[in-house]
Copies of this chain bind each other. A is one copy, B any other.
Amino acid sequence: MKLLKDKILNEGKVIDGKILKVDSFLNHQMDVRLFNEIGKEFRERFSNDVVTKIVTIEASGIGIACMAAEHFGNVPVVFAKKTLGANIVDETYSSDVHSFTKNQCYKVKIAKRFIDNSDKVLIIDDFLANGCAALGLIDIVRQAGAEVVGVGIVIEKGFQPGRKVVEEAGVRVESLAIIEKFDNDRVIFKE
């Protein structure tokens, strides 16, 4: 997706040769015009699939998922929570996720009421690196007996094992920008 790659090249910052900072348009400040194009692109990539629900994870997946949902006939979006507030007393599906960025484990949870075995779920997230968050969401969707249509990712770190672990779980991955490597402070995309 050219628009996205240009944005990454123009505004992304590589820190210590390993972290890509895109907080000016993706995960702190959000460029909603870009999000709209991202949503459109996800719809094209999954144009042959029925999608009844989009699942994402708080916080940075939410904006992208909502804007994408508009292109999937306004299907409901459910975001997995990392912690549950005092006012959630529901039965939940949960899965353990390890965050390499923060170097800690956390549980992700979704109330059982919001996914059932008739759902065909597209999982959307901003980044794919080690695949831990994606695997956690796949696990939750499958606990509900629902079908995972695929995983839609904005930026994939192609040099990390995320794609491999998700595909080994039998799930298709569509990433709008795949980074092959960081050459010092420069982003090199795959193909």
Chain A, interface SS category: mixed
Q: In whole angstroms, how far apart are the Cα atoms of A63 and B57 in the complex?
A: 12
**Copies held by the complex:** 2
**A159 located at the interface, meaning its Cβ lies under 8 Å from any Cβ of chain B in the complex:** no
| A window 77-98: CB within 8 A of B | 77-79, 81, 85-90
Which residues of A approach B to under 8 Å, CB–CB? Answer: 15, 19, 21, 23-24, 28-33, 35-36, 58-59, 62-63, 65-67, 69-70, 74-79, 81, 85-90, 101-103, 110-111, 113-114
Q: Are B76 and A31 within 8 A (Cβ)?
A: yes
The reply to whether A32 and B102 form a contact with Cβ atoms under 8 Å apart is no
For the complex, give the distance between the alpha carbons of A58 and B114 in Å.
Answer: 21
Partner of A76, one of B29, B36, B59: B29
Quick check: B77 and A101 within 8 Å, CB to CB?
Answer: no
Nearest residue in B to A86 (C-beta to C-beta)? B101
